[in-house]
Structure 1
Amino acid sequence: MKNYIPLNQNNLSKLKNRLKVPTYERSPIKIGVVHIGVGGFHRAHQAYYLHQLHEQFGATDWGICGIGLREADRKIYTIFKKQDSLYSLIIKHPNGEINSEVIGSILDFDFGVDAPEAVVNRMAHVDTKIVSLTITEGGYNFNPSTGEFDFENKDIQHELKNPNEPITVYGFLTAALRKRRDENLPAFTIMSCDNIEHNGDVARKMVLAFARRQDPELAEWITQEVSFPNSMVDRITPVTTPEDIAYLVDTYAVQDEWPVTCEPFIQWVVEDNFSNGRPELEKVGVQFVPDVKPYEKMKLRLLNAGHSVIGILGAIHGHNTINACMEDPLFVTYLRAFMDTEASPVLDEVKGINLESYKDSLEERFANPNIKDSVARICSESSAKLPKFLIATIHENLESGGNIKLATLIIVAWCYYHDKTIDEKGRPIEIIDAQTSELHKAAKLTNQDPLAFIKQESLFGNLAQNERFASTYSSLVKNVYKTNNIKKIMEQLLTE
């Protein structure tokens, strides 16, 4: 389409008759939240909630500054500088309805690779009340099996010797907190918004482990002054496609180089535990609770694990998207059986939640034909996800005598996925995982030793030594490798 308008602050007045744009003045808003890891999820979730707060209640102390700490963040940094940190959110409903609006809550973006001092100063600024994180499960730098901080990381080793040359999130957080302490400023809250069970507790443990090694006196100050609230976050946010960019051009004549798409469902449950104040997000639907753990566990063990269940099986069978998996009745039946017989029995009581209705809603959300969340995205970085989402459920069911066979098949399928690297239709599987090389090597040994894959203790702990699990796993390995037909094995398990 000709005559499209580039998205930026100066052009908002020209766009307001085409699509919904911020009605609030952005320039007077102070930056109260510094957010590390400005991916699609943050922009569809936390930034969206704060945008609503600005729109409805004029929250002038709670603008966001995005932070990129990796070279991979250069693209979003460049685009945000061009677009004045504005972006479009495209909400796709199951019935085909689409709502689009421009989000204005992110006011600036700092890039730590080029200007680390600017990032430290931004975090240390008196206006900054919260530093929030969406750095993915792998960004927390812990051993998945032991849960302990990984001091072997070369960037961590550099930061321990050179505190004024931060590279990782831990180097930046400690540098900024040291500066605030030295200037007698109150500490900021560190708020994890990642899909990790007890994410605030994990963030606290990792930050303190690093700080104690780098600067014990600072670690003591952090222990006393910094809050790390646990939070549960939820909104399905697929990877932006060229079609999404084209949709805005064709529909609204707006050029946005990196919009975000998402489902209509959104949820955020946070422990009300902040060092230095917080925005009144309860006004726009955020739930503040004394203890988020039951909600968090429910979401991780049902939604996130459920995604992995159908994603890994779907990758092997040859389904490309999650909604395609949900159009396959066998996948729907298998998913619900997993949620009902293996995940639900190990959950805690979740006040105010009807568990059956919640599981029904997950099926509906996964099946949204307009989201088309790719199986490759859901399977990406499974080595960081599965220990927390799925393997933890297996461990708990082994302890209680509960069912394990449906989840065990997912581990077998994950091994097969890394061994064969093609689906049942002979097409290459797109594998995105920091541990791809190690996983592939272990999977390739399966023909010699059926338990080779699960002997990776950093991922599986002592599962290979558990007689019941090892027996179930070995039997399924034999059947999967013999039949090369994952759906046949799924059917067998459901009828046993």
Structure 2
Amino acid sequence: MATKLSDATLAGLTTATVPTYDRAALTPGIVHFGVGNFHRAHQAVYLDRLFESGRDHDWAILGAGVLPSDARAREIFASQDYLTTVVAQSAAASSARITGGMTDMLPVGDVAATVAALARPETRIVSLTITEGGYFIDAATGQFDPGHPAIVADAASPEAPKTVFGLILAGLRARRAAGHAPFTVMCCDNIPHNGAVTRNTLTGLARLSDPGFADWIAETVAFPNGMVDRITPATGDREREIVLRDFAIADAWPVFCEDFMQWVLEDTFPAGRPALETVGVQFVPDVAPYEHMKIRILNGGHAIIAYPAGLLDIHFAHEAMADPLVRAFLRKIEQEEIIPELPPVPDTDLGAYFDKIEERFSNPKIGDTIRRLCLDGSNRQPKFIVPPIADRLAAGRGVGGLALASALWCRYCHGETESGAAIAPNDPNWDALQARSRAAREDPGAWLGMTEVYGETGRAAPFRDAFDGWLRALWAEGTEATIRRYLDGG
């Protein structure tokens, strides 16, 4: 019989590692926006390990959110006393851990309660996992977008904020008025220079209504950059059923993830921080080399396997890696066009790092779907695929493999797999992408005209020529034959 997850049932659970620290004695030092799967498989696990070691119990998590889905999440978490089952999976084994580092979650939409929590002197870190697309960045310029409707609304009514950033500003205002030192703002999203991006968005919003306050934030608030890494698929009925079957735990929202995780952080926390270095977090003076490596090799690698696999009706990432063509396609691009452009990373062998990525992508236990990897290409391609193309072009080197990866994205957005199956909309801009993809079948330049994705790179003749040739080949010969031609040096 399954045990419903709660504080009252923890002592009787024998199928999972459970907290042995006194959860009632935890006090929150972190307000975290975006209590989704990645946060609960990453930051929350590190903190749970730290609390289990017997220290820093004043750094518990108080959850927060702004979306309707966050309100539903709060209901689920409250029903199980804010406990989460985290199932870490290697190819050979699975293990379950119940994490207990979140003590409560703020009512979604309650501005006064959220600002009061942010203003508490005990709140010394505000952290975020709000997805790569949640920072109000203009895709064409890569800079903060002051014209976004949500930003315009918060700037007009800073006393009634609706966005995460408007709430953070209100919290900082309240702290300054009360004479409390500002908290550190720690981005945990998978974006380049995530601390700098967060600073630009927060100060950009503040500047629209109070330039002096924006200057104060820029001068006094810390925004450490960080690199986060753990493959964490979405939760569905499959995951809930596995937790019931294999661990006899009834958890309405468990988290499944790989057994690997990494967190590299710049040590810039003037308000203090938990001793995360004691549980495996790397603190470094400059996170950029690690971030560059991870975004190019891992996230770029996901994009490389996603679209050919999607066109070939492959469902899971590990199934894509079991396909000799897709696996060879990934390795050739990584070894010839991505890894050679990366600067050295301290104490890291880039070749060995990619070998580990191959192993992680091949893990059959994760159940990471190709559809998830294909999601939101209009936001991910400019971050993961276009930059290495630009670097190769600047160095006068070829971009044949990366151009094919981009052409495969275009072909995917046409909305039909090689077998003729329909591809359901899989991007916030799906309609526009589909229209461009269909136009590009006759004129490949119609796709590269998306300056918000390609910028000046889309105008570079070597890339345009390579993209044009590959897209025409995809339509004339199909995905498998085109990838074979690339692998054969065609």
Interval containing the TM-score (normalised by the shorter chain): over 0.9
Cα distance in 1 for partners of 2:397, 2:165 equals: 39
Which among 25, 29, 42 is matched to residue 28 of structure 1?
25
Q: 2:325 aligns with which of 330, 349, 353?
A: 330
Q: How does 1:47-446 map to 2 (within 5 A)?
A: 47-95=44-92, 97-113=93-109, 115-419=110-414, 421-446=415-440
Partner of 2:6: 8
Quote how far apart the aligned CAs of 1:437 are: 2.1
Letter in 2 for 1:120: V
Q: 2:488 maps to what in 1?
A: 495
- 1:298-354: CA deviations, max 9, x gaps? 000000000110011111111111100000111111111111111112111101001
Equivalent residue pairs, number:
489
Which string of whole-angstrom CA distances, capped at 9 and with x for unpartnered residues, describes residues 235-267 of structure 1? 111111312212222233321000000111110
AA in 2 matched with 1:288: F
Show structure 2 runs of 5+ residues with no match: none
2:170, 2:296 → 1: CA distance? 35
Deviation at 1:47, TM superposition (A): 0.4
Sequence identity percentage: 37
Question: How far off is 1:451 after superposition?
Answer: 0.7
* 1:491 partner amino acid: R
Q: Determine if contact 2:87/2:257 at 8 Å carries over to the other structure.
A: yes
Alpha-carbon distance, 1:172 to partner = 1.0
1:349 and 1:365 map into 2 onto residues whose CA distance is: 22
Equivalent runs, 1:434-473 vs 2, <5 Å? 434-473=428-467
Amino acid at match of 2:49: Q
Structure 1 residues without counterparts, runs of 5 or longer: none
**Cα 1:364/1:447, change in 2 over 3 Å:** closer
Asked if the contact 1:341/1:403 (under 8 Å) is kept, the reply is no
Instruction: Sort the Cα spacing of 1:252 and 1:446 in 2 relative to 1 into closer, same or farther, 3 A.
Output: closer
User: Contact (CA 8 Å) 1:301, 1:390: kept in 2 or not?
Assistant: yes
Question: For residues 172 and 317 of structure 1, what CA distance do their matches in structure 2 show?
Answer: 44
Mapped partners of 1:281, 1:416: distance in 2 = 44
Write the distance in 2 (CA, Å) between the matches of 1:10 and 1:145: 52
**Paired AA for residue 330 in structure 2:** L
Q: Could you tell me which amino acid in structure 2 is paired with residue 164 of structure 1?
A: E
How big is the shift at 1:225? 1.1
Matched AA of 2:202 = V
What's the CA shift for 1:292?
Answer: 0.3
The CA RMSD over aligned residues, in Å, is 1.3
Cα distance, 1:448 vs structure 2: 4.3
**Deviation (angstroms), 1:19:** 2.5
Find the partner of 1:486 among 468, 479, 488: 479
Q: What SS is found at the alignment partner of 2:95?
A: strand
Shift of 1:57: 3.0
